[in-house]
Chain A
Amino acid sequence: MALMVILLVVQIWLLSATLEGFLAGHHGVALPAAIFSGLLFAACVTIDAFVERVDRESRKD
Chain B
Amino acid sequence: MSLFRNPSDQPLWKDEFSVFTADERYVTRRQFTKFLSLASLGMFAGNLWILAKTFFVKTPEFPSTVVAELGEIPVGGVKLFTYPAPQDHCILVRTGDDEYVAYSQKCTHLSCAVYYSAQQGRLECPCHQGYFSIKDGSVLQGPPPRPLPRIVLERDAGKLVAKGVKVGEHG
A-B contact count (CB 8 A): 92
Nearest-neighbour CB distance to chain A for B122, whole angstroms, equals 20
Task: Classify chain B: how many residues form its interface, as a range.
Answer: 20 to 34
Tell me whether B29 and A55 are in contact (CB under 8 A): yes
Task: Classify chain A: how many residues form its interface, as a range.
Answer: 20 to 34
Nearest-neighbour CB distance to chain B for A60, whole angstroms, equals 15
Tell me whether A18 and B47 are in contact (CB under 8 A): yes
| CA–CA, A33 and B78, complex, Å | 41
B residues whose Cβ falls under 8 Å from a Cβ of A: 29-30, 32-34, 36-37, 39-41, 43-44, 46-48, 50-51, 53-54, 57, 145-146, 167-169
Tell me whether B33 and A1 are in contact (CB under 8 A): yes
Tell me whether B33 and A23 are in contact (CB under 8 A): no
- 15 new A-B pairs (CB below 8 Å) besides A20-B145, A41-B43? A4-B36, A8-B36, A11-B40, A11-B44, A15-B50, A25-B167, A25-B168, A27-B54, A27-B57, A33-B50, A34-B44, A34-B48, A44-B36, A47-B33, A48-B37
Q: Which residues of A contact B41 (CB under 8 A)?
A: 41
